[in-house]
Structure 1
Amino acid sequence: MHVSTMSTSTPSSRARGLSTLAAAGVLWGTGGLLGTLLGRVAELSPLAVATYRLGVGGLLIVAFLLVTRRPLPRGRAVWTRIACVGGLAAVFQSSYFASVSLTSVSTATLITIGSSPVLVLLAERALGRRRIDRTAVLTLGLALTGLALLVGIPSGEVSGGALLAGAGFAVLAAAGFATMTLLGARPVAGLDDLTSTGFAFTLGGLVMVPFADLGFTASLSGAGLLAALALLPTAAAYTLYFRGLRGIGASTAAVMALLEPLTGAVLAAVVLGERLGVVGLVGAALLSAAVIVSARRG
């Protein structure tokens, strides 16, 4: 099904899909900055920030659907997909922050984001949807090298057991995102991207509630940051991502998602004053090149 969809898509539809995926990646890149600021202002743990992000982002979409009187999800296949995406989103978020707590942000980010396109490519190959050629391998190698240089090679300060467990959680997070990507590339009749994202993320947020301390230090700035986090890198970005998947394909979309750490690094340098350094700039250049090559192939 996926291959036939790709073969009949027009250049204009592919261009729209690529621009939609690029927009999603850039919006995702704002999540790190907004989440960091929200954690500071509202005194929230990273897991609590992720829980609020999923739950509130999903509820904003559901509220919009109700106000605009969109048809509600119906049918077993539709609710099965919503439940799967919601569960995968909860696995992705909770496993990522479990990895962060055991290792570090750089280690968890490197393994999670680096593993996702690899897992998608291997899954597509196993399912017979895509042939792994030399260009795909080189593009992926370029992307992973750039990501490692941009994020930073993990230091040896973490014990062997914690590093192994953290790496396991990071791979689990990557598998959750990869599976969500593969599912999103195969639409379900009667379920659009906005409805799927809204109800699935509301469900995913509810699943994470028992595992997070949601004590929120109320303030006007905290409420504004939460609204921005829920709307931009969550509700809007994931809806755009799932929409772009329809005309491009899972493996290309997974590489395009690497725009997230690239955008996050730029925002951290501009807003928070963090310096990339020569190594980080080289990594950003390599990562940009990989995204461009993947987009051209897509």
Structure 2
Amino acid sequence: MLVSEHPVATARRPATGLWSLVLAGVLWGTGGPTGSLLAHETGLSPLAVAAYRLGAGGALLLVSLGLTRRPLPRGRHAWVRMIVNGLLAAVFQACFFGAVSLTNVSLATLLTIGASPALVLSAEWITGRRRVSPRMLATVALAIGGLALLVGTPSGGLTAASVLAGAGLALLSAAGFATMTFIGTRPVTGLDDLAATGVSFAIGTAVLAPAATMTAGMAFVPTPASVGLLLLLGTAPTAVAYALYFRGLHTTPASTAALIALLEPLVATLLATLFLGDRLGPTGLIGAGLITTAIVLNSRGARISRRLPRRRPAAGGRTRRSAR
């Protein structure tokens, strides 16, 4: 006789995954201000900062794996997933910072983070993983509208060519993040989250570092401030945040995870307002409220859908339709 799993245990795993995604989004929000301070302190280019971010995060994870004597993943499927995630991380980071250099942070953030939930939701609908309800569409629209109000109107002085090129790179960045989110909901047997993230970031660094070296260079004068900022950037918003994000994807729909990622620009804006002297006007406050509302509604909807009872087959293991 088969014994069903305890309902408290089954409900705890999705709830833990949801909170892992929330914490990842909050930690991601510290990455923007930390990366900006690192660039200001060292004079590094955005591409070099991205390479150092992945390199430091991957190195910290691999060192922790060595200290705990946890083996690296084995098997073809595990290495294929790590290689794909490493390439996607490199594309996501490089295209985003490229979009920032061609336009500005506001427009790049709006297109990258705003397009990701729509791309993930479209992929889920096409593959049949999730039924797109009017509630879900309204939640995505509410979140994107809130993001548009939060980042504000891009400043003038941008040419049409730079805007188009920057928008293209931002959409490529969104596609990279959306793909990483979509495939992350299908776990690979024996693939540890920390090991997968560490190896993937090492692969991403191997792709970004040569590109940064051939363009603006990666050399800087190490000081206590710059080294501290680099370690902070590699730890909280990179190593810890991405490990939590990949763990949360195991029990949470991809579109829900992509919406929770909107916590990144929300937290980054709040930190910039508190510590970097930026001002958040009434429009930005409304946008922050809309993003928060969309995340709460989407999270509640995900928990309710998981608690709904599934249809069970009739006695004998067959339904009426299958018995015909």
Alignment of 1:128-277 (within 5 A): 128-212=128-212, 213-277=217-281
Opposite residue 263 of structure 2, the aligned amino acid is: L
Superposition deviation, residue 156 in structure 1: 4.7
Instruction: Tell me the percent identity.
Output: 55
Query: Partner of 2:28 in structure 1?
Result: 28
8 A Cα contact 1:41 1:217, kept in partner: no
Displacement of 1:181 after TM fit? Answer: 0.4
Amino acid at match of 1:45: S
Distance in 1, Cα, partners of 2:163 & 2:278: 26
Whether 1:103 aligns to 2:82 is no
Larger radius of gyration: 2
Match of 2:94 in 1: 94
Equivalent position amino acid for 2:190 in 1: G
Q: Give the structure with the larger helix fraction.
A: 1
Find the aligned partners of 1:198 and 1:157 in 2 and give their Cα distance.
40
Deviation at 1:157, TM superposition (A): 2.7
Deviation sequence 1:268-295 (CA, Å, 0-9, x none) = 0111121101111111001110111111
- C-alpha distance in 2 between matches for 1:197 and 1:13: 20
Pair 1:51 & 2:51 matched: yes
CA shift, 1:56, in A, is 1.1
Unaligned runs of 5+ in 1: 1-8
Helix, strand or coil for the counterpart of 1:247?
coil
Conservation of the 8 A alpha-carbon contact between 1:43 and 1:217: no
Q: Distance in 1 between matches of 2:128 and 2:48?
A: 39
For residues 168-215 of structure 1, the C-alpha deviation after alignment (integer angstroms, 9 at most, x for no partner) is 110000000000001111111110111110000011011001111211
- Please provide the CA RMSD for this pair: 1.3
CA distance in 1, matches of 2:101, 2:35: 16
Q: Which residue of 2 aligns with 1:124?
A: 124
So what's the TM-score if we normalise by structure 1?
0.95
What amino acid does structure 2 have at the position aligned with 1:206?
A
4+ aligned runs moved over 4 Å, structure 1: none
- Which TM-score applies when normalising by structure 2? 0.88
One-letter amino acid of the counterpart of residue 252, structure 1: T
The secondary structure found in structure 1 opposite 2:295 is helix
Contact 2:116-2:178 within 8 A present in 1 as well: yes
- Please give the residue correspondences for 1:62-101 in structure 2 after superposition, counting only pairs within 5 Å: 62-101=62-101
Give the number of aligned pairs: 291
In the alignment, the residues of structure 1 paired with residue 193 and residue 284 of structure 2 have an alpha-carbon distance, to the nearest angstrom, of: 35
The whole-number CA distance in structure 1 between the counterparts of 2:69 and 2:196 is 15
Residue 290 of structure 1: which of 288, 294, 319 is its match? 294
